[in-house]
Amino acid sequence: MREPLSFVPTLSLPPTCGPEWARYLSLSFLGGYGGVGHIISPDPLEGVASQEITRPLPGHVWATHKVKRLKRTEAPESLSLWLDIPVGLDHPSLTTLNDAQKVAPIRRVVLQRTAPEPLARLDQSLSSLTEIFGADKLWLDADSLGGDAVSYLLWHHPELNIQGHQALEHLLGLARVLERRIVVRDFSGRPSKALAPLPTYAVPELPRGRSRDMPIHGGIV
Amino acid sequence: MPYEMPWTEPRLAPSAPEIRVGHIRTTFWCWARCAFCDFSRPHATRNLNDAPPAIHWDALASSPLDISSASWIKLGGGLSLREPFDYWLEFIRHLRPMTQARIQVFSVVELMLFQRETRRSFHDLMALLKWAGADALGSGGTESLTHHVVPFRPLAPTPEDYGHILDAGRGVDMEIGVSSMSGPGWPEGFILHSPDFFEVKPFRPMNTHIPSRETPHLMDLVRSIQILRQNHPKTPIFVSRPGPGDDRREILSGAGANGYLIHDWELTP
């Protein structure tokens, strides 16, 4: 059994849900993972240990797709930058990444796929990004990438972190194939939890002989 | 004897073509009760005439389906024994003028049943099927050559049986493939013969008696194809119902798949 796959169950709340509904959704989501998980919310939520906020707020992590110049009173603690995986040197994600470094410290970069870029280009791009930034800060968004792409990319970049929600079933299958456990964690500093592997059908030794002498329709033929 | 091959890293290749497949189900009724089957409806009757009738060739003409949209047509189904072999020759003769598609008839198991039933040789049966208009014999049943889960049933072909059937097919220019079911934990067996094509089938455990709940992961399929490709470099490998998505197809093509069999239409009795 190799080093476990690190998975952060992540729920992005819709921007319009009120505080009660947001809290209800968050707690029901976290309950599914034994209390471990990460919430992306429009407003700070009470009772949620690991969260990012989709607007700049002092003392919180700002989860954003693009950055803007901020007032001093808005300055977030750090940034969680959600970017399309950049393909090519003129990709807009690289400009955003460059601008973001001037706004606040970047805690992590979540790599998405919102345009149908070919998998080979994503793979190539991830190799360069891992080399430049190191794998610690890079996260693959399994939901936007899709289970098949994540399986392929994790095979070639086993050091990357994964987040998402919908792709868990696929990841459990991949964990079986790669002989790695899945560890769920979040950013609260609480200990991570190992998920139980999927039950796997065992193929025992065959008894001697083949059962070719089973009756064929009552021996008629 | 399973192949000894370590996991090989997946690669990418341009997606292999899709092949639209039309299915004509002869009958859903079957007495065989194979543990892995999710298709048939077993019937317990001892009287052959009690089995519900199989599909009639009138259905070909009266169906609103556009059967010409499929480039492969597969004819096959359960083992009901109600209709004699000659009925199916007539059926194929009705089908042949209606389509330019490659017609793949029955399976190795069904052929073994016809052989037992009619006392004709494999060569005679294959020659008659070819004469009626068939292009290929379905690969169903040959999982027993590659997986040691499947032999627990009557009529599972042994490598010797398969060799005879392959020889008979080559004698009359009928293609014959091997099915390779892919599923978690299933070792891939050793394939003695070199068939005309492979059909990789993701195992669907629902409604079967195999005590497994998992459908194969993409990487299970990749490994199955890699093993076949390494041991049979020139034999075409088709993946049956590979699932949606360009990523998946590029990955499977990278492993060595030559085409994807996509369900197009189905004609049932």
pLDDT of B1 higher than 50: no
| Helices marked H in chain A | 19-31, 92-103, 119-133, 142-145, 147-156, 168-178
The answer to whether B84 faces chain A, any CB pair under 8 Å, is no
The Cα-based distances of B262 to B2, B30, B69 in angstroms read: 29, 25, 12
| Interface pTM, i.e. ipTM | 0.87
Chain A residue closest in CA terms to B119: A221
Chain B residue closest in CA terms to A170: B217
Of B152, B218, B250, the CB nearest to A211: B152
Nearest CA-CA distance, residue B6 and chain A, Å: 12
The answer to whether B244 faces chain A, any CB pair under 8 Å, is no
Q: Which residues of B touch A214 (CB under 8 A)?
A: 152-154
B-interface mutation test, from A140, A168, A179, A201, most B Cβ less than 10 A away = A201
Cα gap A26→B90, rounded to integer Å: 64
Q: Where does residue A47 fall: left (phi above 0), alpha (psi -120 to 50 degrees), or beta otherwise? A: left
- Going A157 to B247 to B261 to A200, the CA torsion angle's sign is positive
- Are B247 and A120 an interchain contact pair (Cβ–Cβ within 8 Å)? no
**pLDDT tens per residue across span B219-230:** 888 988 998 888
**pLDDT tens per residue across span A63-119:** 999 888 888 888 888 999 999 999 988 889 989 988 988 888 999 999 999 988 899
Nearest CA-CA distance, residue A134 and chain B, Å: 22
pLDDT in the model for residue B257: 96
- Going B43 to B49 to B52 to B55, the CA torsion angle's sign is positive
What is the DSSP code string of A22-70?
Answer: HHHHHHHHHHTTTT--EEEESS--TT-SSEEESS--TTSEEEESS----
- Are A156 and B149 an interchain contact pair (Cβ–Cβ within 8 Å)? no
Q: Report the percent of chain A where pLDDT is more than 70.
A: 91
Cα gap B189→B3, rounded to integer Å: 6
Least confident of A169-173, A189-193, B182-186: B182-186
- From the list A162, A200, A20, the residue with the least C-alpha distance to B210 is A200
Give me the amino acid identity at B195. Answer: P
Q: How confident is the model at residue B191 (pLDDT cuts 50, 70, 90)?
A: low
**Do B40 and B28 contact (CB within 8 A), yes or no?**
yes
- Are B219 and A151 an interchain contact pair (Cβ–Cβ within 8 Å)? yes
Cα gap A42→A53, rounded to integer Å: 5
User: What token pair was written down for B29?
Assistant: 């009724």
Nearest CA-CA distance, residue B58 and chain A, Å: 28
- Are A151 and B218 an interchain contact pair (Cβ–Cβ within 8 Å)? yes
The answer to whether B154 faces chain A, any CB pair under 8 Å, is yes
The Cα-based distances of B158 to A220, B76, B171 in angstroms read: 22, 21, 20
pLDDT of B85 higher than 80: yes
**Do A58 and A76 contact (CB within 8 A), yes or no?**
yes
Give me the amino acid identity at B179. Answer: S
**Do A164 and A142 contact (CB within 8 A), yes or no?**
yes
What is the DSSP code string of B192-254?
Answer: -S--SEEEEEE---TTSSSS--PPPPHHHHHHHHHHHHHH-TTS-EEEES--S-HHHHHHHHH
- Are A211 and B153 an interchain contact pair (Cβ–Cβ within 8 Å)? yes
Model pTM? Answer: 0.89
Q: CB within 8 A of B184, min separation 6: which ones?
A: A173, A176, A200, A201, B212, B214, B216, B217, B220
| Residue A206, number of CB atoms within 10 A of its CB | 12
pLDDT in the model for residue B194: 82
**pLDDT tens per residue across span A35-74:** 899 999 999 998 899 999 999 999 999 999 988 888 888 8
- Going A144 to A148 to A149 to A155, the CA torsion angle's sign is positive
The answer to whether B14 faces chain A, any CB pair under 8 Å, is no
Q: How confident is the model at residue B216 (pLDDT cuts 50, 70, 90)?
A: confident
**Do B202 and B222 contact (CB within 8 A), yes or no?**
no
Q: Which residues pair with B199 in a beta bridge?
A: B179, B238
pLDDT of A221 higher than 50: no
Give me the amino acid identity at A79. Answer: L
Of A123, A210, A215, the CB nearest to B156: A210
Cα gap B60→A200, rounded to integer Å: 43
